[in-house]
């Protein structure tokens, strides 16, 4: 892509994201859906004036990393620890059940090949934390106990997703599971979980002291935080994360795990946290919409054959599995109201970019036929676009119930 073409594409992405976010907000709809719709409109689905390339993908990944950094900074450690068991239950149920049911239905009901059925199950396992977190922030619900359960479950779900993607990628390319590669990824994730809190505390102390006593040039905080993101992504690569999921594993999953405790450590000084948030927010507002537009750009409605009866049958059954597999986990929780269970389950439904990664991998290695790929992509689209509407309604219903109980 020529430089002038990239500049024009980025211009269209930024302007369309802002315009449709404002329109959707005016219509009382989640702004994040306006950004996704902008991508669908300017992408191959409708106008086809912008194409996703590697540069745009990289910028989009920076957007989701920054968004999750902000989430980590605002996460309440006490609430996260308190709701930890619930997060594990939701995550495990939401990973195992969709994968198992998706595989069984594809393999035994539709008689699809083993590897195809495994990839369909993998696609249904995915959860897009980016979509849900953005909706929670738009509704000012990101600090609630329900949000802590969802964030914790989504973090664990990402770990499971990365490992599953590695296993399926190896199986697709070599016909066997590379146990050594899988163990390497597990060790990598475990290493970051074990060392991140210690490193976070040391680095946050250094940043705080240096910024307060020695800084002479403005812009230190944004520069050092972005540098830390790049540093940990590079370390992840050195630990052997396979290139096929390089940006996904190192950029999204591992950086999130680092910055979650990093944000918690910084909370020792609320004034510094406020300063950090103030300086980082412009970067977050700039890059995050690019990610959600890119999600829309990655969806191509023209590739879907709506006239195929097999498409509708496969899509309908797998869609039920996709929804039940995520919502059902929330109903395993004890001590949680029925409405909150529904909110938690609905929050876990969006597949977004994670589901598209599985689908695109399946197509790129010629595992998915056009019909199966279309069905999978359509499920990803529906599970991405519908839950934000439901969440907005459910949170309003929750507020109404609280008001009635007070009266």
356: domain range?
Answer: 60-290+309-380
- Is 17 within a domain? no
Per-residue confidence band for 1, with pLDDT thresholds at 50, 70 and 90:
low
Contacts of 129 (CB under 8 A, 6+ apart): 68, 151, 154, 155, 157, 158
Phi-psi region of 70 (alpha: psi -120 to 50; beta: other; left: phi over 0): alpha
Residue 253 has pLDDT above 50, yes or no: no
To 10 degrees, the CA torsion angle through 165, 168, 170, 173?
Answer: -120
Model confidence at 264, pLDDT cuts 50, 70, 90, reads: very low
Environment class of 121 (CB within 10 Å of its CB; exposed 0-12, middle 13-18, buried 19+): buried
pLDDT digits (tens, 9 = 90+) for 341-357: 999 999 899 877 677 77
Q: What average pLDDT does the segment 314-334 reach?
A: 91
- The average confidence (pLDDT) of the chain is 78
| pLDDT, mean of residues 293-306 | 82
Q: What is the pLDDT of residues 5-23, one digit of tens each?
A: 889 999 999 999 999 999 9
Distance CA 61, CA 248 (A): 8
pTM of the model: 0.75
Q: Is residue 303 part of a domain?
A: no
Residue 38 lies in a domain: no
Q: What is the pLDDT of residues 271-294, one digit of tens each?
A: 666 676 777 788 888 888 998 898
Q: Which residues contact 43 (CB under 8 A, 6 or more apart)?
A: 50, 51, 52, 296, 297, 298, 299, 300
Share of the chain above pLDDT 70, in %: 75
Q: What is the pLDDT of residue 319?
A: 93
Segment 111-123, tens digit of pLDDT: 998 888 988 998 8
pLDDT average, residue stretch 216-240: 69
Is residue 320 a part of any domain in this protein? yes
- Secondary element (H or E) of residue 327: helix 309-330
DSSP states of 246-284: HIIIIIIIIHHHHHHHHHHHHTTSHHHHHHHHHHHHHHH
Which of 8-22, 169-183, 293-307, 310-324 is predicted with the least confidence, judged by mean pLDDT? Answer: 169-183
Confidence class for position 73, pLDDT limits 50, 70, 90: low
54 located within any domain: no
Q: What is the pLDDT of residue 195?
A: 66
How many structural domains is the chain composed of?
1
In a domain, 45, yes or no: no
Closest to 162 in 3D by CA, of 384, 327, 348, 358: 358
Is residue 4, in this structure, part of any structural domain at all? Answer: no
CATH number of the domain within which 133 lies: 1.20.1530.20
- Residue 207: partners with Cβ closer than 8 Å, 6 or more residues away: 221, 224
Q: What is the mean pLDDT of residues 313-329?
A: 91
Look at residue 392 and tell me if it is in a domain: no
The average pLDDT across 359-384 equals 83
- Across the range 108-134, mean pLDDT stands at 85
Locate 75 and state its tokens. 């996460």
Q: What number of CA atoms fall less than 13 Å from residue 240's CA on the CB side?
A: 13
């Amino acid at each position: 892509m020529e430089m002038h073409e990239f500049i024009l594409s980025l211009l269209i992405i930024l302007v369309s994201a802002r315009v449709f976010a404002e329109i959707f907000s005016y219509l009382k709809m989640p702004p994040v859906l306006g950004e996704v719709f902008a991508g669908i409109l300017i992408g191959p689905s409708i106008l086809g004036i912008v194409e996703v390339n590697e540069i745009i993908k990289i910028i989009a990944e920076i957007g989701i990393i920054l968004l999750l950094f902000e989430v980590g900074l605002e996460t309440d450690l006490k609430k996260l620890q308190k709701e930890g068991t619930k997060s594990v239950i939701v995550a495990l149920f939401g990973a195992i059940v969709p994968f198992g049911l998706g595989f069984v239905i594809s393999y035994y009901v539709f008689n699809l090949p083993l590897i195809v059925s495994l990839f369909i199950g993998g696609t249904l396992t995915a959860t897009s934390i980016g979509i849900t977190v953005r909706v929670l922030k738009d509704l000012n619900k990101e600090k609630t106990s329900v949000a802590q359960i969802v964030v914790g479950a989504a973090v664990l779900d990402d770990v499971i997703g990365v490992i599953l993607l590695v296993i399926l990628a190896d199986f697709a390319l070599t016909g066997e599971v590379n146990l050594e590669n899988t163990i390497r990824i597990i060790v990598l994730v475990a290493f970051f979980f074990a060392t991140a809190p210690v490193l976070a505390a040391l680095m946050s102390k250094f940043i705080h002291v240096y910024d307060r006593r020695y800084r002479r040039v403005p812009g230190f905080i944004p520069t050092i935080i972005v540098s830390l993101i790049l540093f940990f992504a590079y370390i992840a690569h050195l630990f052997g994360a396979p290139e096929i999921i390089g940006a996904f594993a190192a950029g999204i999953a591992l950086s999130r795990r680092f910055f979650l405790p990093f944000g918690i450590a910084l909370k020792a000084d609320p004034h510094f946290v406020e300063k950090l948030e103030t300086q980082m927010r412009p970067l977050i507002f700039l890059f995050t919409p690019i990610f959600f537009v890119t999600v829309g750009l990655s969806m191509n409605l023209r590739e879907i054959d709506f006239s195929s009866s097999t498409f509708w049958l496969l899509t309908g059954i797998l869609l039920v599995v996709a929804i039940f597999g995520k919502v059902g986990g929330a109903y395993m929780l004890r001590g949680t109201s029925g409405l909150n269970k529904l909110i938690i389950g609905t929050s876990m439904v969006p597949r977004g970019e994670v589901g598209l990664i599985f689908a695109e991998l399946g197509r790129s290695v010629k595992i998915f036929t056009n019909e199966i790929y279309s069905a999978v992509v359509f499920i990803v689209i529906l599970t991405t676009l519908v839950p934000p509407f439901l969440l907005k309604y459910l949170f309003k219903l929750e507020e109404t119930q609280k008001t009635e109980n007070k009266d």
